[in-house]
Amino acid sequence: MSIRKKDISELEQLSYTDLAYEIIKEDKKGYNTPSLFKEVCNLLNLSEEEFEAKIGDFFTALSTDQRFILIDSTNWELKENHVVDVVIDDGEDDEEEIEENEDDEEESDEETEDVLDEDDYSEDALDDDINEDDGMEDLTIVDEEEIDEE
């Protein structure tokens, strides 16, 4: 039986989202939120004031109800009418991508070797790096034996 031909006492027993579901299923088209809620209000003989007071809750209910899907940020439709494509990645593309990344790394390593020279590895250069103000001057080195004695 059509949702629009049911008695109002039967309709009042259904939730707004159940009514919306039946409307979209029967009409086989999507509705934006105000139009869909207007249809629900017309079925239940709700006033304009009730429409304005409850439309926010209606939108929230549609958003959380798993039977509905929002298409193009405007129209509510039923999920059951839409096919979801499941893509299974077989990993072949990943191998090619890894090989490309390895090639890039080799090239960047070669470029780095050209930039670095032996002076960068001298003890003076390393000491300068270590002695820079990095907050480590207050640290003391403790042997394991000292810890065991405590």
Q: Which residue has the tokens 């077989």?
A: 90
Domain extent for 36: 3-81
Check pLDDT > 60 for residue 122. no
Q: What is the DSSP string of 40-56?
A: HHHHHT--HHHHHHHHH
Q: Is residue 102 part of a domain?
A: no
Where does the pLDDT of residue 19 fall: very low under 50, low under 70, confident under 90, or very high at 90 and above? very high
**Any domain includes 109:** no
The per-residue pLDDT for range 53-87, each reduced to its tens digit, is: 999 999 999 999 999 999 888 899 998 888 767 77
Q: Does residue 113 belong to any structural domain of this protein?
A: no
Domain for residue 39, yes or no? yes
Domain membership flag for residue 91: no
In a domain, 90, yes or no: no
What does the H/E/C string look like for the chain? CCHHHCCHHHHCCCCHHHHHHHHHHHHCCCECHHHHHHHHHHHHCCCHHHHHHHHHHHHHHHHHCCCEEEECCCEEEEHHHCCCCCCCCCCHHHHHHHHHHHHHHHHHHHHHHHHCCHHHHCHHHHHHHHHCCCCCCCCCCCCHHHHHHC
Using pLDDT thresholds of 50, 70 and 90, give the confidence band for residue 114.
low
What is the total count of domains within the chain? 1
pLDDT for res 143: 74
CATH number, domain containing residue 50: 1.10.10.1250
- Domain for residue 65, yes or no? yes
User: Is 122 inside any structural domain?
Assistant: no
